[in-house]
Amino acid sequence: MADITVMRYLYFTILCLIVLISASTHSHAAMGMDTPAKQAIVIDYDTGLVLLEKNADERMPTSSMSKVMTTILTFDALKQDHVKLDTTFLVSEKAWRKGGSKMFVEVDKSVKVEDLLRGVIIQSGNDATIVLAEGLAGTEEAFADAINRKAHELGMDNSHFMNASGWPDPNHYSTARDLSKMAVSLIRDYPEFYPIFSETEFTFNEITQPNRNPLLYRDVGADGIKTGHTEDGGYGLIGSGSRDGRRAIVVVNGLSSSKERATESAKLLAWALQSFENKAVISANQPLGDAPVMYGKSKTVAASVSKDLVLTLPKLGGDNWTKTVKLKDSLTAPIKKGQEVGSIVIDVPNLYSIERPLIASNDVEELGFFWKMIENARIMIMGK
């Protein structure tokens, strides 16, 4: 066991050294990263900032990565007390006959929801997925409709699901960006169930199968999420992990082999966790400029962000970011504290550019009628 621990430590150390060496030979550290994946996205979980993207909005087959949506709907049903973990669902012939990866449930037998979830998450069982879908919605088709409604709720507007398992269908697709939104929801909204995704094996019907996620066997801080593969879409993976208080999410797809999928996803997750840090760069209520106000008892109102602005920045060269404050020039009193009065644009070279709203730091009362007349006269004579 000690030897295994040492090997895992050495593996992660070597990955980190590769990242840092690459960073030292390219300006701005993290900017030299690339991937052979056809579609990819890497985000910081806490800030939501995109660290790498490649064809992230390109529609692609989602394969077994779709099964995360099946687990999310099951978690919803559990949280709403529609079912319990020890609720049993009957295995239909359709579920039993389904090809591909299996949990090996038996037709006409009843299986607990808790076991079916592990059969989906750990063993990627198409049979278990259909049993859950039929048990929760009556038919897999009705369950797919429920998945689409949930996807819309999560802002997955470039996704469409035809079944619960990700079985190939020309009208079953998603994007790397949408799958990252799904992953964020999974981790954020279901903390009591998410640890199942880090379990490395599951035994059912006297058959033990390992978790198919290769990241769990590499010391890169991974604790999920799901692999997938189709002939048309190639090899894909949604991965997440944390280290030193930060969490990252990686989505890759269109890779040529399971080996390449394992290598690329581990590389990207290690890079995201090792090469970046989160910094609060602007404090809430920190004055960022004065926006002009017409007909106010004050001629201006201070602009600020509503909460601390936290950026995900490269550890090397991370101070090389710029901000541009854009204030509205047509504000008219009264102004309420918290009202939007402009925006701030943050640019991190070769990484991302984001725009966030600026709000009024205080109220500005409206002038009375007489003083408005005086102000109008002044404007007519002198202009604004």
Residue pointed to by tokens 């990242």 = 19
Specify whether the CB–CB gap between 265 and 255 falls below 8 A.
Answer: no
Residues 248 and 270: their CA atoms lie apart, in Å, by 9
Residues 227 and 266: their CA atoms lie apart, in Å, by 13
Specify whether the CB–CB gap between 128 and 103 falls below 8 A.
Answer: yes
Q: Which residues are catalytic?
A: 64, 67, 124
Helices (H) and strands (E) in the chain, counts: 9, 17
Residues 95 and 109: their CA atoms lie apart, in Å, by 11
CA distance readout (Å), 76 to 79, 83, 174, 224: 5, 9, 21, 19
Q: Is 60 helix (H, G, I), strand (E, B) or coil?
A: strand
Residues 246 and 72: their CA atoms lie apart, in Å, by 23
Q: Is 117 helix (H, G, I), strand (E, B) or coil?
A: helix
| Among 42, 70, 56, 298, residue whose Cα is nearest residue 177 | 56
SS3 content of the chain, % helix, strand, coil (to 5): 35, 30, 35
Residues 200 and 213: their CA atoms lie apart, in Å, by 8
Q: Is 239 helix (H, G, I), strand (E, B) or coil?
A: strand
Residues 55 and 161: their CA atoms lie apart, in Å, by 20
Q: Which run of H or of E encompasses 252? A: strand 246-255
